[in-house]
Amino acid sequence: MDLSTRYLGLELTHPIVASPSPLTRDIDGIRRLIDAGAAAIVMASVFEEQVAADRGLLEQRLETLHQASKQGGIPIIASLNGETPGGWVSFATQLEEAGASAIELDLYRVPSDPDETGQALEQSYVDILRAVKAKVQVPVAVKLSPYFSSPANMAKQLVEAGAGGLVLFNRFYEGDIDLDSLLVKPDFRLSTTYDIRLPLMWISLLSGRLDASLAATSGVWTYEEVVKYLLVGADVVMTTSSLLKDGPQHLATLVSGLREWMESRGLSSIGEFKGRLAAAHLFDPSAFMRVHYSDILTSGHKDH
Protein backbone atom coordinates (compact mmCIF):
# COMPACT_ATOMS: atom_id res chain seq x y z
CA MET A 1 0.00 0.00 0.00
CA ASP A 2 1.34 3.41 -0.98
CA LEU A 3 0.46 6.17 1.49
CA SER A 4 3.02 8.61 0.12
CA THR A 5 2.16 12.19 -0.73
CA ARG A 6 3.95 15.36 -1.75
CA TYR A 7 3.76 18.55 0.26
CA LEU A 8 5.67 21.72 -0.64
CA GLY A 9 7.71 19.62 -3.03
CA LEU A 10 8.76 17.33 -0.15
CA GLU A 11 8.19 13.59 -0.44
CA LEU A 12 6.33 12.32 2.62
CA THR A 13 5.76 8.66 3.47
CA HIS A 14 2.14 9.38 4.42
CA PRO A 15 -0.08 12.47 4.77
CA ILE A 16 -0.23 12.90 8.56
CA VAL A 17 1.81 15.75 9.98
CA ALA A 18 2.15 17.09 13.54
CA SER A 19 1.23 20.79 13.58
CA PRO A 20 2.73 23.45 15.86
CA SER A 21 2.09 23.01 19.58
CA PRO A 22 4.01 22.69 22.84
CA LEU A 23 4.77 19.10 21.74
CA THR A 24 6.74 20.34 18.74
CA ARG A 25 8.61 22.96 20.75
CA ASP A 26 11.39 20.87 22.25
CA ILE A 27 13.52 17.99 21.14
CA ASP A 28 11.90 15.49 23.51
CA GLY A 29 8.42 16.06 22.05
CA ILE A 30 9.79 16.04 18.52
CA ARG A 31 11.60 12.73 19.11
CA ARG A 32 8.41 11.19 20.45
CA LEU A 33 6.53 12.32 17.35
CA ILE A 34 9.25 10.95 15.08
CA ASP A 35 9.07 7.63 16.97
CA ALA A 36 5.28 7.61 16.54
CA GLY A 37 5.84 7.85 12.78
CA ALA A 38 4.98 11.49 11.94
CA ALA A 39 5.51 12.11 8.23
CA ALA A 40 6.73 15.63 9.00
CA ILE A 41 6.67 17.98 11.95
CA VAL A 42 5.89 21.68 12.05
CA MET A 43 7.70 23.17 15.01
CA ALA A 44 5.98 25.54 17.43
CA SER A 45 6.09 29.08 16.07
CA VAL A 46 8.84 31.48 16.89
CA PHE A 47 6.92 34.59 17.98
CA GLU A 48 8.81 37.81 17.43
CA GLU A 49 7.47 39.46 20.58
CA GLN A 50 8.66 36.52 22.68
CA VAL A 51 12.08 36.68 21.12
CA ALA A 52 12.21 40.43 21.73
CA ALA A 53 11.55 39.75 25.41
CA ASP A 54 14.00 36.86 25.66
CA ARG A 55 16.78 36.70 23.10
CA GLY A 56 17.93 33.30 24.35
CA LEU A 57 14.64 31.79 23.22
CA LEU A 58 15.51 32.14 19.55
CA GLU A 59 18.89 30.47 20.07
CA GLN A 60 17.19 27.64 21.93
CA ARG A 61 14.66 27.12 19.11
CA LEU A 62 17.36 27.25 16.45
CA GLU A 63 19.36 24.63 18.36
CA THR A 64 16.27 22.41 18.72
CA LEU A 65 15.54 22.78 15.02
CA HIS A 66 19.14 21.93 14.19
CA GLN A 67 19.03 18.77 16.32
CA ALA A 68 15.59 17.78 15.02
CA SER A 69 16.59 18.18 11.39
CA LYS A 70 19.46 15.74 11.98
CA GLN A 71 17.25 13.23 13.80
CA GLY A 72 14.78 11.17 12.02
CA GLY A 73 15.01 11.63 8.28
CA ILE A 74 11.67 13.43 8.15
CA PRO A 75 11.18 17.06 7.13
CA ILE A 76 11.12 19.52 10.01
CA ILE A 77 9.18 22.62 9.05
CA ALA A 78 9.82 25.79 11.04
CA SER A 79 6.98 28.13 11.88
CA LEU A 80 7.26 31.84 12.34
CA ASN A 81 5.00 34.61 13.56
CA GLY A 82 6.70 37.97 13.14
CA GLU A 83 5.73 41.47 14.12
CA THR A 84 8.00 43.69 12.06
CA PRO A 85 8.93 43.28 8.37
CA GLY A 86 12.61 42.93 9.38
CA GLY A 87 11.73 40.32 12.01
CA TRP A 88 9.92 38.05 9.55
CA VAL A 89 12.86 38.07 7.16
CA SER A 90 15.64 37.77 9.72
CA PHE A 91 14.01 34.87 11.59
CA ALA A 92 13.12 33.06 8.37
CA THR A 93 16.74 33.24 7.24
CA GLN A 94 18.01 31.93 10.56
CA LEU A 95 15.47 29.10 10.59
CA GLU A 96 16.56 28.06 7.11
CA GLU A 97 20.22 28.10 8.17
CA ALA A 98 19.39 25.96 11.21
CA GLY A 99 18.07 23.20 8.94
CA ALA A 100 14.35 23.83 8.30
CA SER A 101 13.09 21.85 5.29
CA ALA A 102 10.44 24.52 4.75
CA ILE A 103 9.06 27.53 6.55
CA GLU A 104 5.46 28.10 7.57
CA LEU A 105 4.46 31.73 8.03
CA ASP A 106 1.79 32.08 10.66
CA LEU A 107 0.39 35.22 9.03
CA TYR A 108 -2.05 36.55 11.49
CA ARG A 109 -2.70 39.62 13.52
CA VAL A 110 -5.96 41.12 14.71
CA PRO A 111 -6.61 44.14 12.46
CA SER A 112 -8.04 46.34 15.18
CA ASP A 113 -7.32 49.72 13.57
CA PRO A 114 -10.57 51.06 12.03
CA ASP A 115 -8.49 53.03 9.52
CA GLU A 116 -6.79 49.93 8.15
CA THR A 117 -8.60 48.62 5.08
CA GLY A 118 -8.90 44.95 4.22
CA GLN A 119 -6.92 45.62 1.07
CA ALA A 120 -4.05 47.18 3.04
CA LEU A 121 -4.01 44.24 5.44
CA GLU A 122 -3.92 41.75 2.57
CA GLN A 123 -1.15 43.71 0.90
CA SER A 124 0.89 43.64 4.11
CA TYR A 125 0.63 39.82 4.15
CA VAL A 126 1.68 39.59 0.53
CA ASP A 127 4.61 41.96 1.18
CA ILE A 128 5.82 39.85 4.13
CA LEU A 129 5.65 36.71 2.04
CA ARG A 130 7.52 38.31 -0.87
CA ALA A 131 10.22 39.65 1.45
CA VAL A 132 10.73 36.20 3.01
CA LYS A 133 10.68 34.46 -0.37
CA ALA A 134 13.37 36.84 -1.63
CA LYS A 135 15.74 35.66 1.12
CA VAL A 136 15.17 31.93 1.57
CA GLN A 137 15.55 28.99 -0.78
CA VAL A 138 13.37 26.47 1.05
CA PRO A 139 9.64 26.29 0.25
CA VAL A 140 7.40 28.67 2.16
CA ALA A 141 3.85 27.84 3.28
CA VAL A 142 1.35 30.29 4.70
CA LYS A 143 -0.98 29.41 7.55
CA LEU A 144 -4.07 31.46 6.94
CA SER A 145 -7.02 32.74 8.81
CA PRO A 146 -10.49 32.18 7.33
CA TYR A 147 -11.40 35.79 8.09
CA PHE A 148 -11.09 37.48 4.70
CA SER A 149 -13.89 38.94 2.60
CA SER A 150 -12.68 36.67 -0.17
CA PRO A 151 -10.49 33.87 1.18
CA ALA A 152 -10.12 32.38 -2.31
CA ASN A 153 -8.73 35.62 -3.68
CA MET A 154 -6.38 36.00 -0.69
CA ALA A 155 -5.19 32.45 -1.32
CA LYS A 156 -4.57 33.27 -4.99
CA GLN A 157 -2.63 36.43 -4.12
CA LEU A 158 -0.42 34.45 -1.73
CA VAL A 159 0.24 31.72 -4.26
CA GLU A 160 1.11 34.32 -6.89
CA ALA A 161 3.50 35.90 -4.38
CA GLY A 162 5.31 32.57 -4.00
CA ALA A 163 3.51 30.52 -1.35
CA GLY A 164 4.26 26.86 -2.10
CA GLY A 165 1.49 25.76 0.22
CA LEU A 166 -1.49 27.03 2.17
CA VAL A 167 -2.37 25.73 5.60
CA LEU A 168 -6.10 26.05 6.27
CA PHE A 169 -6.83 27.37 8.87
CA ASN A 170 -5.25 28.73 11.96
CA ARG A 171 -7.28 28.51 15.10
CA PHE A 172 -7.25 31.53 17.34
CA TYR A 173 -7.04 32.20 20.91
CA GLU A 174 -10.10 34.17 22.03
CA GLY A 175 -10.47 35.31 25.62
CA ASP A 176 -13.55 34.95 27.79
CA ILE A 177 -14.82 37.00 30.75
CA ASP A 178 -14.86 35.81 34.32
CA LEU A 179 -18.12 37.17 35.76
CA ASP A 180 -16.89 36.89 39.36
CA SER A 181 -13.72 38.92 38.94
CA LEU A 182 -14.94 40.87 35.88
CA LEU A 183 -11.57 40.17 34.28
CA VAL A 184 -10.79 38.82 30.84
CA LYS A 185 -9.67 35.25 31.38
CA PRO A 186 -7.99 32.75 29.13
CA ASP A 187 -10.37 30.04 28.01
CA PHE A 188 -8.41 27.55 26.03
CA ARG A 189 -10.11 24.51 24.52
CA LEU A 190 -8.93 21.76 22.29
CA SER A 191 -10.72 21.40 18.95
CA THR A 192 -13.55 18.97 18.22
CA THR A 193 -14.20 17.02 15.04
CA TYR A 194 -16.88 19.57 14.13
CA ASP A 195 -14.06 22.06 13.53
CA ILE A 196 -13.17 20.36 10.26
CA ARG A 197 -16.18 21.94 8.50
CA LEU A 198 -14.73 25.31 7.49
CA PRO A 199 -11.36 24.03 6.24
CA LEU A 200 -13.16 21.09 4.58
CA MET A 201 -15.27 23.49 2.53
CA TRP A 202 -12.39 25.75 1.58
CA ILE A 203 -10.02 22.95 0.67
CA SER A 204 -12.73 21.49 -1.51
CA LEU A 205 -13.27 24.87 -3.18
CA LEU A 206 -9.57 25.59 -3.72
CA SER A 207 -8.37 22.11 -4.65
CA GLY A 208 -7.05 21.96 -8.20
CA ARG A 209 -7.49 25.70 -8.68
CA LEU A 210 -4.18 26.96 -7.29
CA ASP A 211 -0.64 25.93 -8.02
CA ALA A 212 0.14 25.15 -4.38
CA SER A 213 -0.03 22.34 -1.86
CA LEU A 214 -2.96 22.36 0.55
CA ALA A 215 -2.62 21.38 4.19
CA ALA A 216 -5.66 20.82 6.39
CA THR A 217 -5.51 21.77 10.04
CA SER A 218 -8.35 21.72 12.59
CA GLY A 219 -10.46 19.03 14.16
CA VAL A 220 -8.52 15.88 13.23
CA TRP A 221 -9.07 13.31 15.98
CA THR A 222 -9.60 10.05 14.05
CA TYR A 223 -8.79 8.55 10.64
CA GLU A 224 -12.26 9.66 9.51
CA GLU A 225 -11.30 13.34 9.53
CA VAL A 226 -8.03 12.43 7.79
CA VAL A 227 -9.95 10.65 5.04
CA LYS A 228 -12.48 13.49 4.65
CA TYR A 229 -9.74 16.08 4.24
CA LEU A 230 -7.94 13.92 1.68
CA LEU A 231 -11.20 13.38 -0.20
CA VAL A 232 -11.65 17.13 -0.65
CA GLY A 233 -8.08 17.50 -1.89
CA ALA A 234 -5.71 18.10 1.04
CA ASP A 235 -2.14 16.99 0.34
CA VAL A 236 -1.42 16.62 4.03
CA VAL A 237 -3.54 16.55 7.16
CA MET A 238 -2.24 18.08 10.36
CA THR A 239 -3.18 17.44 13.95
CA THR A 240 -2.41 19.08 17.27
CA SER A 241 -5.29 18.76 19.75
CA SER A 242 -5.52 14.97 19.43
CA LEU A 243 -1.79 14.61 20.12
CA LEU A 244 -1.94 16.93 23.11
CA LYS A 245 -4.78 14.92 24.59
CA ASP A 246 -3.88 11.35 23.60
CA GLY A 247 -0.10 11.67 23.28
CA PRO A 248 2.27 11.44 20.30
CA GLN A 249 1.49 7.73 19.85
CA HIS A 250 -1.97 8.71 18.63
CA LEU A 251 -0.34 9.66 15.35
CA ALA A 252 0.41 5.99 14.67
CA THR A 253 -3.27 5.20 15.32
CA LEU A 254 -4.29 7.75 12.68
CA VAL A 255 -1.92 6.23 10.13
CA SER A 256 -3.13 2.69 10.76
CA GLY A 257 -6.75 3.86 10.66
CA LEU A 258 -6.13 5.46 7.27
CA ARG A 259 -4.44 2.30 6.00
CA GLU A 260 -7.29 0.09 7.19
CA TRP A 261 -9.91 2.37 5.61
CA MET A 262 -8.04 2.25 2.30
CA GLU A 263 -7.79 -1.54 2.51
CA SER A 264 -11.51 -1.82 3.22
CA ARG A 265 -12.20 0.19 0.06
CA GLY A 266 -9.68 -1.64 -2.11
CA LEU A 267 -7.56 1.50 -2.52
CA SER A 268 -3.82 1.11 -2.89
CA SER A 269 -2.62 4.72 -3.07
CA ILE A 270 -3.63 8.14 -1.79
CA GLY A 271 -3.81 9.41 -5.35
CA GLU A 272 -6.72 7.06 -6.05
CA PHE A 273 -9.06 9.08 -3.86
CA LYS A 274 -7.39 12.40 -3.06
CA GLY A 275 -9.54 15.27 -4.31
CA ARG A 276 -12.47 13.09 -5.35
CA LEU A 277 -14.83 15.38 -3.48
CA ALA A 278 -13.13 18.61 -4.52
CA ALA A 279 -15.81 21.09 -5.60
CA ALA A 280 -14.62 20.83 -9.20
CA HIS A 281 -15.70 17.17 -9.23
CA LEU A 282 -18.99 17.55 -7.46
CA PHE A 283 -22.19 17.18 -9.43
CA ASP A 284 -23.44 20.16 -7.46
CA PRO A 285 -20.39 22.34 -6.72
CA SER A 286 -22.42 24.41 -4.28
CA ALA A 287 -22.94 21.34 -2.10
CA PHE A 288 -20.53 22.61 0.56
CA MET A 289 -21.90 26.15 0.44
CA ARG A 290 -25.61 26.41 -0.19
CA VAL A 291 -27.23 23.18 0.82
CA HIS A 292 -30.47 24.04 2.52
CA TYR A 293 -31.19 21.99 5.58
CA SER A 294 -34.12 20.36 3.83
CA ASP A 295 -31.87 19.37 0.89
CA ILE A 296 -29.09 17.81 2.89
CA LEU A 297 -30.09 14.23 2.24
CA THR A 298 -30.47 14.70 -1.49
CA SER A 299 -27.17 16.42 -2.43
CA GLY A 300 -24.88 14.17 -4.45
CA HIS A 301 -21.66 13.98 -6.38
CA LYS A 302 -20.52 12.56 -9.68
CA ASP A 303 -19.37 8.98 -9.62
CA HIS A 304 -15.85 8.38 -10.90
Burial of residue 114 (number of CB atoms within 10 Å: 0-12, 13-18, 19+)? exposed
Distance set, CA 109 to CA 21, 82, 117, 280 (Å): 18, 10, 14, 32
Please name every residue paired with 165 in a beta bridge, in sequence order, or none if there are none.
141, 213
**Nearest distance from residue 168's CB to ligand FMN, in Å?**
10
Of residues 221 and 281, the one with the C-beta less far from ligand FMN: 221
Q: Which residue number is nearest to ligand FMN in terms of Cβ?
A: 191
19 binds ligand FMN (CB under 6 A): yes
Task: Report 250-279 residues binding ligand FMN (CB under 6 A).
Answer: none
Of residues 67 and 193, the one with the C-beta less far from ligand FMN: 193
What number of other Cβ atoms are within 10 A of residue 65's Cβ?
Answer: 24
Nearest to 32 by CA among 198, 249, 287: 249
- Of 114-122, 145-153, 200-208, 215-223, the window that binds ligand FMN (rule: CB under 6 A) is 215-223
Of residues 229 and 288, the one with the C-beta less far from ligand FMN: 229
Please name every residue paired with 270 in a beta bridge, in sequence order, or none if there are none.
none
Nearest to 1 by CA among 300, 273, 219: 273
The counts of H helices and E strands in the chain are: 10, 13
220 binds ligand FMN (CB under 6 A): yes
**Nearest distance from residue 123's CB to ligand FMN, in Å?**
22
106 binds ligand FMN (CB under 6 A): yes
5 binds ligand FMN (CB under 6 A): no
**Nearest distance from residue 276's CB to ligand FMN, in Å?**
23
How do beta strands 183-185 and 176-178 pair?
A: antiparallel
21 binds ligand FMN (CB under 6 A): yes
Of residues 198 and 210, the one with the C-beta less far from ligand FMN: 198
Distance set, CA 74 to CA 31, 33, 138, 249, 283 (Å): 11, 11, 15, 17, 38
Helix 85-97 and helix 55-71, axial crossing angle in degrees, nearest 10: 40
Encoded amino acid at 103, one letter: I
Please count the residues of the chain.
304
How do beta strands 5-7 and 10-12 pair?
A: antiparallel
191 binds ligand FMN (CB under 6 A): yes
22 binds ligand FMN (CB under 6 A): yes
- Of 65-73, 92-100, 234-242, 256-264, the window that binds ligand FMN (rule: CB under 6 A) is 234-242
219 binds ligand FMN (CB under 6 A): yes
**Selected binder of ligand FMN within 12, 38, 44, 51 (CB under 6 A):** 44
Of residues 194 and 293, the one with the C-beta less far from ligand FMN: 194
**Nearest distance from residue 118's CB to ligand FMN, in Å?**
22
Distance set, CA 190 to CA 21, 168, 185 (Å): 11, 17, 16
**Nearest distance from residue 45's CB to ligand FMN, in Å?**
3
Task: Report 121-180 residues binding ligand FMN (CB under 6 A).
Answer: 143, 170-171
45 binds ligand FMN (CB under 6 A): yes
List interacting residues with ligand FMN (CB under 6 A).
19-22, 44-45, 79, 106, 143, 170-171, 191, 195, 217-220, 239-241, 244
